[in-house]
Amino acid sequence: MIFYFKSLLVFFFLFSIVTCKSQIAKRASGSLEIINDTTFVNLKDYSQDFVYDMKYATEDNFLKSKVYDCAVCYLRYKTVKALIQANQRFMRKGYKIKLFDCYRPLDIQKRMWKIVPNPEYVANPSKGSIHNRGGAVDLTLVDLKGNEVNMGTTFDFFGIEASHGYLNFSHEIKSNRNLLRRIMAKENFKSFDSEWWHYNLKSALIDPVSNFKWDCKN
């Protein structure tokens, strides 16, 4: 009996160690897997409720250049969980998240820096950004018909009007920005003062810069 209880205690101890580092994740397909919070995953594998307009996989961006080989949103799993929770809150209010950019491999950051070597527009790859850590997202809101909510400026507008502190807007625009920031904050995302579209998951600050790359064939 003593041996049985000792074995049971060892089992629960080992189980607690595993669950601290990993957890059971449910994919959009309904299948289950054990996954670490810092693993890079494709958002589409865990939710079909997002809208995508991945700007840097096109030439429709301030770089005027396509820097991603394909339009995919990868993030660390903990960022995906928080983003899904935020999106569920928005959907209850009649909106969905539309994504412009997600995780950005360091090689892509270097490519962007080579095109526009200006820290006012592109983070210096020598330090890396939260995008390179898998914890940053660029986004806006759309209504359930897919129409973008008026945020006052377009994505990647580099002017004072893009900042959260700019108040010379209509009540509607200020309310839209406040809604976005308020709900994202509830899921532990921090806004970026000069860019209304940029949000960092707070816990991502401790994660290392990564050059993980996905397979565009999948």
Does the residue 217 lie in any domain? Answer: no
Quick one: 68 and 115 in the same domain? yes
Does the residue 211 lie in any domain? Answer: no
Quick one: 18 and 75 in the same domain? no
**pTM of this structure:** 0.87
Q: Could you confirm whether 195 is annotated as catalytic?
A: yes
The residue annotated as part of the active site, out of 120, 161, 172, 195, is 195
Per-residue pLDDT tens digits for 85-109? 999 999 999 999 999 999 999 999 9
- DSSP sequence for 33-65: EEEETTSEEEGGGT-S--EE--GGGSS-STT-S
Per-residue pLDDT tens digits for 209-218? 999 999 998 6
Q: Which residues contact 89 (CB under 8 A, 6 or more apart)?
A: 183, 186, 187
φ, ψ at 101 (rounded to 5°): -160, 150
Q: How many domains does the chain have?
A: 2
Per-residue pLDDT tens digits for 189-204? 999 999 999 999 999 9
CATH number of the domain within which 114 lies: 3.30.1380.10
